[in-house]
C-alpha cells in the first residue's frame, strides 16, 4: 500500500479506507497467499482471544511476512510461535529471569548507560545520528548487563538480529544469521551446563540438565531472549523522540514535570501512538471463527472468516 507524502510513519491512506469501509479484507503476500487483514480494534481483540486462532508457526498455512522470516522460524521455533499448553510451559521457564525484582535491580546500571551515552553524544560533533549514537547502543548495552551476557558479543547479536527482522533479507542471509546465533548460544549453554550460575542463560541450561529441553531448544530460547529487545527498543526510542519533537507542547509538559507518573504516562502514550510493530501479530486458523459485529461487505459471504 503506497504511503502519502508527509510523515512516513503514518498509515497508508488505503489502510485507513479499509478500516473504515472493509475492516476485514483479503490481502496478497509475497508467496501468493491471501490471508485476512483485520484492522478494527474490537475484532483484533476478539480474534486474539479465540481458541480457534493459533500462534503455531509450524502449521502449513501459517503466514510469514517474508521468505527470511519463514526460514528463521523453520530453524528456530520458540514459545512465541506456539500455542498452550506448550507455550505456557516454555514461557514459565524464563519468566523468573525477568521478574519485577530482577528488572528493577538493573535500573541503576541502565541509568548509568543512558547518562553516559547522552554525555558522549552532547560532547561530540554535531549533528549526530540519534539511532547510531544512542537508540541502538542503549538496548545493546542493557542486554549485556544481564548476568551471563558478555559485552564483547553485543555487535554480533545486533548485526545478526537486524538481518532477521529486515523484510529485504534473503533466505540465505536469514539461514546463516540464525545458524550463527544458534551455534554461539549452543556453546554458551554448554558453558552454563559445566559452570551453572544465577544468570539469564543458566535458566535454559538447567532445563537441558533436567531433560525438559534439548540443547537446540535451549539455544533458541537464549536467542529469543537476547535478540528480541535490540531493534524493538531502538526503534521505540527513535520514534518516541520524533513524536515529541513533532509535538512541542507535549515535550514541554514532559520537560517541566518532575513527577515520575507523568513520565510513565508519556511512555505508555508513545507506545500506544507509535507502536514499534505496525503490522501483526500473524495468526492462523484452526477452524473458522465468525465475527458477528459488522465486518463489512464480506460478512455473510462464502469468503468471510
Quick one: 120 and 221 in the same domain?
Answer: yes
Q: Is residue 5 part of a domain?
A: no
Quick one: 98 and 242 in the same domain?
Answer: yes
Q: Which residues contact 257 (CB under 8 A, 6 or more apart)?
A: 263
pLDDT in tens, 200-258: 778 788 889 888 888 988 888 888 877 777 778 888 999 999 999 989 999 999 999 98
CA–CA distance, 87 with 97 (Å, rounded to integer): 17
Q: Is residue 290 part of a domain?
A: yes
CA–CA distance, 164 with 76 (Å, rounded to integer): 12
Domain that holds residue 96: 90-246
**Mean pLDDT, residues 118-137 taken together:** 90
Quick one: 97 and 48 in the same domain?
Answer: no
Q: Is residue 165 part of a domain?
A: yes
Question: Is the model's pTM score more than 0.85?
Answer: no
* pLDDT computed for residue 62 by the predictor: 93
Quick one: 207 and 161 in the same domain?
Answer: yes
* pLDDT computed for residue 212 by the predictor: 87
pLDDT in tens, 40-77: 999 999 999 999 999 999 999 999 989 999 999 999 88
Find the angle CA(75)-CA(157)-CA(102) to the nearest 5 degrees.
Answer: 100
Q: Is residue 7 part of a domain?
A: no
CA count, 13 A, side-chain hemisphere, 99:
7
Quick one: 46 and 146 in the same domain?
Answer: no
Does residue 303 surpass a pLDDT of 50?
no
**Mean pLDDT, residues 247-271 taken together:** 92
Amino acid at each position: 500500500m503506497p504511503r502519502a507524502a508527509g510523515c512516513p510513519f503514518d498509515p497508508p491512506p488505503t489502510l485507513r479506507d479499509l478500516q473504515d469501509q472493509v475492516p476485514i479484507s483479503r490481502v496478497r503476500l509475497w508467496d501468493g497467499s491471501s490471508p485476512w487483514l483485520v484492522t478494527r480494534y474490537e475484532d483484533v481483540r476478539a480474534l486474539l482471544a479465540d481458541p480457534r486462532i493459533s500462534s503455531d508457526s509450524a502449521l502449513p498455512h501459517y503466514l510469514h511476512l517474508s521468505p527470511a522470516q519463514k526460514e528463521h522460524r523453520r530453524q528456530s521455533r520458540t514459545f512465541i510461535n506456539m500455542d498452550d499448553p506448550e507455550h505456557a510451559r516454555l514461557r514459565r521457564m524464563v519468566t523468573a529471569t525477568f521478574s519485577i525484582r530482577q528488572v528493577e535491580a538493573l535500573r541503576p546500571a541502565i541509568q548509568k548507560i543512558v547518562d553516559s551515552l547522552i554525555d558522549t553524544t552532547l560532547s561530540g560533533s554535531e549533528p549526530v545520528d540519534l539511532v547510531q549514537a544512542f537508540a541502538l547502543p542503549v538496548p545493546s548495552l542493557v542486554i549485556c548487563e544481564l548476568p551471563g551476557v558478555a559485552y564483547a558479543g553485543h555487535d554480533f547479536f545486533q548485526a545478526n538480529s537486524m538481518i532477521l527482522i529486515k523484510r529485504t533479507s534473503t533466505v540465505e542471509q536469514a539461514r546463516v544469521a540464525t545458524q550463527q546465533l544458534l551455534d554461539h548460544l549452543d556453546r554458551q549453554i554448554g558453558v552454563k551446563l559445566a559452570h551453572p550460575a544465577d544468570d539469564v542463560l543458566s535458566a535454559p541450561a538447567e532445563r537441558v540438565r533436567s531433560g525438559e529441553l534439548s540443547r537446540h531448544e535451549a539455544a533458541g530460547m537464549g536467542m529469543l531472549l537476547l535478540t528480541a529487545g535490540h531493534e524493538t527498543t531502538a526503534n521505540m526510542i527513535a520514534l518516541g523522540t520524533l513524536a515529541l519533537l513533532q509535538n512541542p507542547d507535549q515535550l514541554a509538559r514532559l520537560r517541566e514535570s518532575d513527577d515520575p507518573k507523568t513520565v510513565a504516562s508519556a511512555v505508555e502514550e508513545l507506545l500506544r501512538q507509535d507502536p514499534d510493530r505496525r503490522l501483526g501479530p500473524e495468526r492462523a486458523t484452526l477452524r473458522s471463527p465468525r465475527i458477528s459485529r459488522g465486518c463489512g461487505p464480506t460478512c455473510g459471504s462464502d469468503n468471510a472468516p
